[in-house]
Amino acid sequence: MARRRSSARQQVSLFPFLDILGCLIGSLILIITTVVLEQMDTQPVAEAAKIDDMKQEAAREKARQVRVEQELAGLVKQAGPVEQRLASARARAEQAARAEAKAAEALAAAERLTIDTPKPPPPADTTALAARRKALDAEATKIKAEIAARSKQPEQSIVILPPGGGGGPKRGVFVEAAKGKAIVHDSKPWEAPAGKVAGDPRFKALLEKIRGDKDAIITFLIRPDGVGIYFEMQKAADAAGARSGRVPLPGSGTLDLSEAR
């Protein structure tokens, strides 16, 4: 009986490799197809979405433009008063600058000036003044004593007589030295307050008139409370060179000048 030939050689099957290779190629084809389809399908959608986004952005930009135009209109409306205030502020600033420039020029001119300070006068000799003050004090004491002596008499009408005869003055002008005032018994009597009699133009004119008339004299009628104003008028009369005399009055009686005129 014949024996079967035993196959000592093993056969290699390529089916599994081809199967795997076919599956791989098919997968690649599927992937490529999917990618291509996705690109073909999503490109119009993306473009449409992009167009929508651009439209929305354009709408937002338009809204922003409208808002900016409204704000600009409001600013333009408010710019009028602001410009006026700005112009006023500029004008004030220019005025201040001009004033500052003038002040600087004045200061520079003042600095260029040479100030000559006068030398103080030498100290005056007060000996004569002290002697004059002492004499006035003695005279005041004497007048007060005369007034005190006469004031003991009953106060009646005080009759004033005209100046004495002889070669002396014959026309007298009587000035009453009362408390706080001087009373000039002229054709029209008038008064002047204490402290201002010497500077009164009327009193100065009276002293000039007395000085120019050799027959005239000014007689001071001194009340008990008018010694201070008497010294003021006597000093002015001496300075003007007018002849003067004095009559202390014994109280506050009424003056009777009818005999003296």
- Cα distances (Å, whole numbers) of residue 117 to 41, 106, 110, 212: 109, 21, 15, 42
State the pLDDT confidence band at 122, using cuts at 50, 70 and 90.
low
Residues 85-117 as b/e (b if ≥16 CB within 10 A, e otherwise) read eeeeeeeeeeeeeeeeeeeeeeeeeeeeeeeee
Q: 122 Cβ partners below 8 Å, 6+ apart?
A: none
Q: What's the CA gap between 141 and 45, in Å, rounded?
A: 133
Strand partners, 222: 177, 248
Residue of 189, 190, 165, 191 whose CA lies nearest to 180 = 191
Three-class secondary structure of residue 259 per DSSP: coil
pLDDT for 46-73, tens place per residue? Answer: 677 778 888 888 888 888 888 888 888 8
Q: Tell me the CB-side half-sphere exposure of residue 110, using CA atoms within 13 A.
A: 6
> What pairing do the DSSP bridges indicate for beta strands 216-222 and 244-248?
parallel
- In the predicted model, is pLDDT for residue 9 greater than 80? no
pLDDT for 194-231, tens place per residue? Answer: 888 888 999 999 999 888 888 888 889 888 888 899 99
pLDDT for 95-115, tens place per residue? Answer: 888 888 888 887 777 666 555
How many other C-beta atoms can be found within 10 angstroms of the C-beta atom of residue 234? 19
Q: Please answer whether residues 169 and 243 qualify as being in contact, where contact means their C-beta atoms are separated by less than 8 angstroms.
A: yes
- Cα distances (Å, whole numbers) of residue 260 to 94, 116, 127, 230, 256: 77, 58, 40, 20, 8
Alpha helices in the chain (DSSP H): 15-112, 127-151, 201-212, 227-240
